[in-house]
Amino acid sequence: MYGIEILVDEHKNIVEFCKSMKSMCCSIIEGNEVDAKLVKECVAFGKTYADHLHHGKEEKILFKIMLEKLGPVADKLIRNGMLVEHDLGRLHMNELLEAADRYEKDPSTLNKLDIITNAAGYATLLNRHIGKEDEVVYTFAERALSAEDKERVDVETKEFDEDPENKANVAKYLEWFEGFRRKYPAR
């Protein structure tokens, strides 16, 4: 199923991003300076690549169709699980951006702590979340959706991915990510 294969591939990038964010946090703990500009770039990656481009596809396409077609089990799984965790990820990204802004004005230990807390919290949340999606949500969708609904997911995913703005953002953020990953390789 094309739509789910794409989401799984994107998960691989997001997991690697989370590893690099934790590596950046470790570097700060070890005494290296906070690069507030880079932290803000991490937020941009999280908000654009992970949230808009990836979670957007899940929410507007796969989850929407699952909610329409798969009844109470899907409703509980999506509304009480996946969407809540998407919102928690957004909270971490917003808090991380605010912490970076505060740190630029006041490079205090407290503001540094807020950067580390939200960056590491986001990484931990997304890693657990991705495991649930890959192992439970996506397998449920592949098993329970009709062939027609699977085709609908695939067609709508291709349309989303072919949108020129979305394509440009994917390329931009994956290029940025390669530099970030080199600077902060997974530990």
What pLDDT score was predicted for residue 32? 97
Predicted pLDDT of residue 67: 98
Buried b (16+ CB within 10 A) or exposed e, 23-44: bbbebbeeeeebbbeebebbbb
pLDDT of 85 reads: 98
The pair of structure tokens assigned to 180 is: 């970030």
Return the pLDDT at 131. Answer: 97
Residues of the chain with pLDDT under 70: none
State the pTM of this model: 0.96
User: For residue 173, what pLDDT is reported?
Assistant: 98
User: CB under 8 Å to 158, separation ≥6 — which residues?
Assistant: 2
Question: Can you give the pLDDT at residue 69?
Answer: 97
CA–CA dist 54, 61 (Å, integer)? 11
**pLDDT (0 to 100) of residue 68:** 97
Residues 6+ apart with CB under 8 A from 110: none
pLDDT at 21: 98
Of 153, 183, 184, 165, nearest to 6 by C-alpha is: 153
**pLDDT score at 93:** 98
pLDDT at res. 125: 98
Other Cβ atoms less than 10 A from the Cβ of 140: the count is 17
